[in-house]
């Protein structure tokens, strides 16, 4: 079982690295296809982070200063959604 987990981590890490390299290439067709999906997923993750009840602890302890991370997540989510809505030009 440990050998399988080790192999799965190596293969998964290699595939993730390859995907990141392909996404970093400016003329990659994969980039044109996946970047809007990644942007929407990031915007959704930011929204979920803002609504999580675990995040209420800083607001209770720190008052208004506990909302700083929520404001950052809100801004990042809005920027990601705006990026996903921009029309992509096909070359």
Q: Is 1 helix (H, G, I), strand (E, B) or coil?
A: coil
Boundaries of every domain in the chain? 27-85
pLDDT of residue 51: 85
Query: What is the spatial distance between Cα 52 and Cα 73, in angstroms, rounded to a whole number?
Result: 12
42 secondary structure, DSSP code: H
> How far is C-alpha 67 from the chain's CA centre?
20
pLDDT of residue 44: 93
Torsion of CA 56, 37, 81, 46, to 10 degrees: 10
Whether the full predicted model's pTM is greater than 0.95, yes or no, is no
User: Which of 23 and 75 is assigned the larger pLDDT?
Assistant: 75
* pLDDT tens column, 30-76: 777 888 888 899 999 999 988 887 776 777 777 778 788 888 889 99
């Amino acid at each position: 079982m440990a050998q399988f987990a080790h192999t799965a981590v190596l293969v998964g890490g290699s595939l993730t690295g390859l995907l990141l390299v392909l996404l970093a290439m400016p003329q990659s067709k994969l980039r044109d296809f996946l970047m809007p999906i990644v942007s929407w997923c990031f915007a959704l993750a930011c929204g979920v982070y803002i609504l999580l009840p675990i995040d209420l602890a800083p607001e209770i302890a720190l008052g208004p200063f506990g909302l700083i991370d929520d404001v950052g997540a809100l801004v990042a989510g809005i920027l990601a959604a705006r990026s996903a809505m921009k029309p992509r030009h096909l070359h």
